[in-house]
Amino acid sequence: MDPMPDSPQPGPVRSPGRSLRRWLLAAAGVLAVVLGGIGVFVPGLPTTIFLIVASYCFARSCPWLEERLLRVPLFAPYMRFIDERRPMSTRARVVSIAATWISVLLSLAWLRASGRLSTALAVTIIGVAGIGTVAVLRFRRAPRAGAVARESCSS
């Protein structure tokens, strides 16, 4: 008969850097959800790009937060292509990126005309739009029609 240990056995040790990275990704995801939520109601503020960024961050930090994000009725129209595991079409990519950059440029022009645009604010706005653009470009792509036809003919 084996004696019972007095203390519980330690689990796998997680590196502090990995844990910090997960927390930072989760925080970035929450911020993106807040901005996307504002974008639902504010014309000109993109919603989809922020939700894509949030989904990306949650998938790499807290998958249960991504699942919860996909179930929020307010965001359902924007997240439909993620929930159904369909790739994002080229047209949707172009429209999303174009809307993002048009909104950014109009916002920057308006802020500059009103005298409220600082260098830090301009860099922040452009940086966030750049991150969103990279997220859209890295998201699953729809296969090209020629590639699908070649694959089906080769078998």
- What pTM value is reported for the model? 0.48
Catalogue the long-range contacts made by 67-73 (C-beta closer than 8 Å, 24 or more residues apart). 69/29, 69/33
Can you give the pLDDT at residue 69?
A: 81
**The predicted structure's pLDDT at residue 150:** 45
* 70, 83 Cβ separation under 8 angstroms: yes
Helix (H), strand (E) at residue 106: helix 90-113
Strand, coil or helix: what is 45? coil
64 φ, ψ to 5°? -70, -30
Indicate the DSSP class of residue 141: B
Q: How many CB atoms lie within 10 A of CB 73?
A: 6
For tokens 């949707």, what's the residue? 92
pLDDT per residue rounded down to tens, the chain (155 residues): 555 555 555 555 555 567 889 999 999 999 999 998 888 887 777 787 888 888 889 888 988 888 888 778 877 766 665 555 667 778 878 888 888 899 899 999 999 999 999 999 999 999 988 988 888 887 766 565 554 444 444 44
The whole-angstrom separation of Cα 38 and Cα 7 is 49
